[in-house]
Amino acid sequence: MKLISHKEALKESLKDPEFNIAYKKIHWQTDISIILYHSRKREELTQKQFSKKYKIPLKKLKKIENGEFKNITLEVLENLFEKLGLYMYIKTKNFSEDLED
């Protein structure tokens, strides 16, 4: 059995039209979760400490880090990113466009 990298596996999986559309619908959530997680780890803070420092309810922080975005508004994300010295922008694409960027 040949081992392949995550990137290669994703590239292969994206050839499936059904998977491709599903992935495109949620990949932004994964990106935000990863950014938030790494921001917290870089500061060597627990979720509770991070929650208190950046004034975000612990329950919301946990949901975002776990990729659960139900009832998480853009305003909450924008405010949190601003506190971290980051900004967000939204870019829309057709599902038929490549997912390279």
Length of the chain: 101
- Asked if residue 97 is part of any domain, the answer here is no
Q: Which two tokens stand for residue 36?
A: 């938030």
Residue 43 is part of which domain span?
14-83
Q: Which two tokens stand for residue 18?
A: 């059904």
- Asked if residue 73 is part of any domain, the answer here is yes
- Asked if residue 70 is part of any domain, the answer here is yes
In contact, 99 and 28? CB cutoff 8 Å: no
Sorted by sequence, the CB contacts under 8 Å of residue 58 that are 6+ apart come out as 47, 48, 51
**25-50: per-residue pLDDT in tens?**
888 898 899 999 999 999 999 999 99
What mean pLDDT value characterizes the chain?
A: 88
Burial class (CB in 10 A: 0-12, 13-18, 19+), 37: middle
- Asked if residue 91 is part of any domain, the answer here is no
- Asked if residue 8 is part of any domain, the answer here is no
Q: What is the model's pTM?
A: 0.72
- Asked if residue 54 is part of any domain, the answer here is yes
Domain count, the chain: 1
